Homo-oligomer: A and B are copies of this chain.
Amino acid sequence: MAKRGYHHGNLRQALVETALKLIEEKGPTGFTLSEAAKQTGVTPAAVYRHFRGREDLIAEAARQGYTIFADLIEYAYDKEQPSALASFEATGRAYLAFARKFPGHYVAMFESGISHNHSPELAAAAARALGVLERAAADLSAHIPPDRRPPASMVSAHIWALSHGVVELFSRGSPGTKSPFAPEDLLESGIGIYLRGLGLIKPDE
């Protein structure tokens, strides 16, 4: 119990965490400033000591999400170095692991409608995360003969889109979409086929 400082101790972070919990439970729409304040045990007005308003609170949640996300995929990437292929695959797995483990952050980042340009801090955190993805793709592309090598940013866009699609359609219980496959298997097999298509995995497994 870090109840030092002024009255609450660390209301700012407590609010972010309540917001994440609410976003996770009810989606970005279901989240309200008032309820976040109430569940943190504080008056709605207290929020304004720490955030400019509702949007600002969501943006901070998203920023923290991008930071965790970047750390995770960077770690996954580094751990498998110097193999470009293993690093790339680990990055994909880390993407899904993040979405599963930090659903509130994920929604705040991608479904809350918040713009990356809400604040310089958010933009920077997002840019760092995307930078890791692009680096992994660039490493990988270097192993493809230049004449049949797609741009690295295209490869990273493909994988990002595939990952995001798997999360949105099959990972969250979203609309009513069921698949007989676990999201992890779906993503892994999809990336496998894709890498084979790039000529980075031999045709015979």
Which residues from chain A sit less than 8 Å from chain B, CB to CB? 27-29, 109-111, 113-117, 123, 126, 150-151, 153-154, 157-158, 160-166, 168-170, 174-177, 179-181, 186, 189-190, 192-199, 203
Other-chain contact of A198, B157, B176, B193 (Cβ < 8 Å): B193
A181 contacts across to B, CB distance below 8 A: 153-154, 157
Do A161 and B165 contact each other (CB < 8 Å), given the known contacts A29-B113, A115-B175? yes
Could you tell me the distance between the alpha carbons of A90 and B195 in the complex, rounded to whole angstroms? 23
Could you tell me the distance between the alpha carbons of A116 and B169 in the complex, rounded to whole angstroms? 13
The residue of chain B having its C-beta at the shortest distance from the C-beta of A28 within the complex is: B29
CB–CB A180/B194 < 8 A: no
A114 contacts across to B, CB distance below 8 A: 175
Could you tell me the distance between the alpha carbons of A161 and B126 in the complex, rounded to whole angstroms? 22
The residue of chain B having its C-beta at the shortest distance from the C-beta of A204 within the complex is: B148
Do A176 and B117 contact each other (CB < 8 Å), given the known contacts A154-B186, A161-B166? yes
Could you tell me the distance between the alpha carbons of A152 and B170 in the complex, rounded to whole angstroms? 16
A111 contacts across to B, CB distance below 8 A: 111
A123 contacts across to B, CB distance below 8 A: 176
Q: List 25 A-B contacts (CB under 8 A).
A: A27-B113, A28-B29, A29-B29, A29-B113, A114-B175, A115-B176, A116-B175, A116-B176, A153-B180, A154-B181, A157-B169, A157-B170, A158-B189, A158-B190, A160-B165, A160-B169, A161-B165, A161-B186, A161-B190, A164-B164, A168-B168, A192-B197, A196-B197, A197-B197, A199-B203
